[in-house]
Structure 1
């Protein structure tokens, strides 16, 4: 059927419908619904003959609930994040920062530069051990130390030439004697050991001139802390107390006196000096007793090994004794400190 014939048929049908509209409207209680029905019928006829537009999408009627849940669209795929750095380089940079931070106080220190570093790392699991072995280049000895040297130089931190670097992984706690602690890192800074003078707690006295009752005398603080020096084994003090000398110069009245050796013993006072052990300093001191003071016509000196002389002429003052010293009594008798 051609378009012209279809249009003619449609026109005749529409005309018939319009003429019948009043009657149809009376049968439907004379409301405006007749117009809507006619228009809907006309639209259907147009669609039947291919003359109308296709129906639009059906809109929800007022009777439908307005709060009907709508389908949630699928979430958009997340944007790809930047790849994280490998764990070993990241951990290595963290270790470098720790070392630089703790060594910053030694920047520009040339006279007090550390001799070496001892690194401790706590690795509680086998995975931690494996990671730190990669971080420290366990299979490339010296490489981590070279990289650390460059980092330290950039911060003006200089260590001693040929400085040593040691590292150790522990599964338990870090050593308590580490110089620095931070997290699972521990650092011990190694310096040149300070030479400390070792003072013997025992001394031996031997007469160089003069005659003593014994060949030599051992001063031992575990046995005695005070040793009296004088002529004769005993002497009565001004208070009437009997004093016993420990380092005894033989008195001429003693049967053991030898004039050839003991002639100079006469210059030694019966209460010449006392040697006491200083428990705080762990050293011996010489105290001059009244008989060895210049006020009583006597004198006492200490001749040091470096050819310096120290006059012991102050009562109550303790003069230090070291091996190599010579104690001079009365200007003639000498005791060697060994």
Structure 2
């Protein structure tokens, strides 16, 4: 697996702003999983940070440790933008720990954990047992097989594991095709495609991103049912994946999708 704290260019660690963006993305994805408007019962959001001494300053800067209300304002802004319905008076608390407490929500690439505390009614995060795999049939990625879980957030696909866009935004490619691994990987866009779990339809959907639609690099699906090929021409329309479907990236890489 890639080293999350390495940028696309060079060996410089992720700066405080990039780190802040990733932590906010993590929080947003967990809040979006709250069922039935239960975000209104949120009493406190506790963030646990477990880092080495040399990493501490970067995390303290990212989380505005000198003025913690600023980070809470960032979370509230995300909640407002995505209609997450957080109650008035909710609190954000940051703990720096040597070990994560039991039951903390973690993300492998981040050295932070999350606990959502409720008032009046429990805050439940939607859980689904469905798991799927993506096996690299053609091309060279950082792994041969990727396991993905329903409801765990967006899974980006592209060239290189971490990418900074022209607008300064940071993108983490979970399924990454390093340019140095194979010459043909250069035809895969840094922002090629992504998968999302659709709760209402109970399925994984594939979306082409800006770099994966015409006239640039293309994203296609070869169906398991009849081996027909579908090209994704829009970033707004998702394709429902079924076991045996193959995702084709720029005609140089193929991933086979299987539900477990």
Instruction: Give the TM-score category using the shorter length.
Output: 0.3 to 0.5
Could you tell me the TM-score, scaled by structure 2's length? Answer: 0.48
* Structure whose residues are more often strand by fraction: 2
Could you tell me the TM-score, scaled by structure 1's length? Answer: 0.37
* Structure whose residues are more often helix by fraction: 1
